[in-house]
Amino acid sequence: MSALTREETEALIQEVLEVYPEKAKKDRAKHLAVNDQSIEQSKKCITSNRKSLPGVMTIRGCAYAGSKGVVWGPIKDMIHISHGPVGCGQYSRAGRRNYYVGTTGVNTFGTMNFTSDFQEKDIVFGGDKKLAKLIGEIEQLFPLNKGISVQSECPIGLIGDDIEAVSKKAAAETGKPVVPVRCEGFRGVSQSLGHHIANDAIRDWVLPRRDGKAFEGTPYDVAVIGDYNIGGDAWSSRILLEEMGLRVVAQWSGDGTIAEMEKTPYVKMNLIHCYRSMNYIARHMEEKYSIPWMEYNFFGPTKVAESLRAIAANFDDKIKEGAERVIAKYQPLMQAIIDKYKPRLQGKRVMLYVGGLRPRHVIGAYEDLGMEVVGTGYEFAHNDDYDRTIKDMGNATLLYDDVTGFEFEEFVKKVKPDLVGSGIKEKFIFQKMGVPFRQMHSWDYSGPYHGYDGFAIFARDMDMTLNNPCWGKMQAPWLKKDESVAEKAAA
Amino acid sequence: MANIMIQGSKGAYVFYLPKRDLEDNIVSMEFDTPEKWGGEIRLNNGGTYYIEPQAAPARLPISLRAKRLDAAE
């Protein structure tokens, strides 16, 4: 099927909206748009960061997910207490595959779940005592932890516990940072506010800890912020930066430690991969510590080269030469990968629906493979994300914000993409519909996808999924049309 | 009143309003001298805001309180 025209796409949106009641239809219409590259500001075509409608299937998370799961969780040498009932922490435990180095349970705690396991009596009488006791027990059982964060679940805010007071007291006793985070799940419309709250907690409780202390810096110090090391992403990014001559002082929340975060105010530049979840802290550091920041994109050789040059442009000639050297070194390797996979993937069409940065960042990687992204959308983006997306997407492609289960299925049925990239909740629906699918949150248990090394894996995975022989076997042999029978007869 | 941030170097200010994800160039600022700085500011998108005139900040970006006079929406 060829690409849809603007009118066809608009008609498709109208058709999908048809099933909703009048009020819901009006609301949902604002979240669906046809991309128009001439639009400067996304709010003219799409509404985002609004409350999901009750009754539709949204794929969003909550503020707790944004804080504990995304920003704080991957800081490996801290213990993150899921403060409240046991479920929130247990069912999200270790699901994000942010890899780290260390001995779990001894000096790193990334995949473990610590919870205060609230019971009825804690709701009635308050859980502050339990929290204080829990922190004491943690200190005894895991003495090598470098700090504790208290991630509030919904009841904490509802019953009005004073976790700040408990944290301050515990911090004074242990001499380690104890960070209360007010990320109750009911705050905000999606995980996005959780990111913001978590950033604010880092700003207030972590960054000032080394203010005024000595730090032996170099002019080439950078911090990698917002790379969550899914399947090792941050590692395949870091080696490129180091190869071009930069010194990576901190890897935030992807194989990161609290000591690295505390040192970040001394770097020369902050490099932001996930703009949505980490721009707040970058802006804060720009104001307080005069550290410039920039976004970069390490998906696909074209964007990697672009980003390496953009990063190098902020440093002296040594780094600029380094960047060119790195690009030249990997260019033949990347060309070999493109030569291998492009013929197999050329012209295939992709629909994406992810969160954070991927709906726009991976477009370049698909284009390197000759594929086209025909629809993209964010779970929890704000207008500034769509501002950036509009330029990256082709004209007349679909944009959907906080898409509902129904809408997404209908879009896929009508647009008929060759590949859908989204999360685990969508995976089996589309696979049963016979559409090749990749999880773009967890890289479908593969990865890394960032950097040059990541692109090789990305290309292989896309080929593996799209050209899998199983897609030709979606129909039972006895239900196949006569032509195949005739073919056999002829043979 | 809203918390805003003004970024950029002299002559080319960028206005950032986190609550609205609004990041836009400032086309004009009523006072832009070292002694008196601020007043009514006009954005590229047509919105106008008011910040209390004050001595020019030593360095940017700076977080300020601003009053909305006329939003562009």
User: pTM for the full model?
Assistant: 0.93
Reduce the DSSP state of residue A188 to 3 states and report it: coil
> Which residues in B lie closer than 8 A to residue A50 (C-beta atoms)?
none
CA of A233 to nearest chain B CA: how many angstroms apart? 28
CATH number at B2-70: 2.40.50.240
What is the enclosing helix (H) or strand (E) of A430?
A: helix A424-432
Question: What CATH class has A221-326?
Answer: alpha beta
Residue A82 CA, chain-centre distance (Å), reads 21
Q: Is A65 a catalytic residue?
A: yes
Mark which residues 24-63 of B lie under 8 Å from A by CB. 45, 59, 61-63
Q: Do B61 and A287 touch (CB under 8 A)?
A: yes
Which burial class, exposed, middle or buried, applies to A283 when counting CB atoms under 10 A from its CB (0-12, 13-18, 19+)? buried
Per-residue pLDDT of chain A (491 residues; tens, 9 = 90+): 457 889 999 999 999 999 999 999 999 999 999 999 888 778 888 999 999 998 888 999 999 999 999 999 999 999 999 999 999 999 999 888 999 999 999 999 999 999 999 999 999 999 999 999 999 999 999 999 999 999 999 999 999 999 999 999 999 999 999 999 999 999 999 999 999 999 999 999 999 999 999 999 999 999 999 999 999 999 999 999 999 999 999 999 889 999 999 999 999 999 999 999 999 999 999 999 999 999 999 999 999 999 999 999 999 999 999 999 999 999 999 999 999 999 999 999 999 999 889 999 999 999 999 999 999 999 999 988 998 999 889 888 999 999 999 999 999 999 999 999 999 999 999 999 999 999 999 999 998 999 999 999 999 999 999 999 999 888 888 888 766 555 666 55
Among the partner residues B5, B23, B59, nearest to A290 by beta-carbon distance: B59
CATH of A1-60+347-491, one of 3.40.50.1980, 3.20.20.70, 3.30.1280.10, 1.10.10.10: 3.40.50.1980
Give ranges for CATH 3.40.50.1980 in chain A.
1-60+347-491, 63-210, 221-326
Report the alpha-carbon distance of residue A453 to residue A400 in Å, rounded. Answer: 31
Query: Does residue A430 contact residue A63 with C-beta atoms inside 8 Å?
Result: no
Which burial class, exposed, middle or buried, applies to A269 when counting CB atoms under 10 A from its CB (0-12, 13-18, 19+)? middle
CA of A385 to nearest chain B CA: how many angstroms apart? 9
Q: Is A195 a catalytic residue?
A: yes
Report the alpha-carbon distance of residue B49 to residue B52 in Å, rounded. Answer: 10
Report the alpha-carbon distance of residue A98 to residue A485 in Å, rounded. Answer: 50
> Which residues in A lie closer than 8 A to residue B73 (C-beta atoms)?
43
> What amino acid is encoded at A201 in this protein?
A
**Of A249, A232, A229, which is closest to residue A241 (Cα–Cα)?**
A249
A385, closest residue in chain B (CA to CA): B21
Question: What CATH class has A63-210?
Answer: alpha beta
b or e along A395-407 (b: 16 or more beta carbons within 10 Å of the residue's beta carbon)?
ebbbbbbbbbeeb
According to the model, what pLDDT value does residue A350 have?
Answer: 95
Reduce the DSSP state of residue B51 to 3 states and report it: strand
**Of A103, A454, A477, A98, which is closest to residue A304 (Cα–Cα)?**
A454
Among the partner residues B5, B21, B59, nearest to A283 by beta-carbon distance: B5
Longest Cα–Cα distance of chain B, Å, equals 33
CB atoms within 10 A of CB A121: 10
Report the alpha-carbon distance of residue A200 to residue A198 in Å, rounded. Answer: 5
- CA separation, residue A282 to residues A59, A62, A200 (Å): 27, 23, 11
- Interface A–B counts its CB contacts (< 8 A) at 20
Q: What is the pLDDT of residues B2-54, one digit of tens each?
A: 899 998 865 688 899 888 888 888 898 898 888 999 899 998 888 899 999 99
What tokens were used for A12?
């498709």
Q: Is A489 a catalytic residue?
A: no
Report the alpha-carbon distance of residue A430 to residue A474 in Å, rounded. Answer: 12
According to the model, what pLDDT value does residue A1 have?
Answer: 44
pLDDT tier at B59 (50, 70, 90 boundaries)?
A: confident
Among the partner residues A286, A287, A384, nearest to B21 by beta-carbon distance: A384
Report the alpha-carbon distance of residue A170 to residue A191 in Å, rounded. Answer: 28
Phi, psi of A351 (to 5 degrees): -120, 135
CA of A294 to nearest chain B CA: how many angstroms apart? 14
Q: For all residues of chain B together, what is the average pLDDT?
A: 86
| Residue B30: DSSP 8-state | E
Q: How many residues does chain B have?
A: 73
Task: Look up the ipTM and state it.
Answer: 0.88
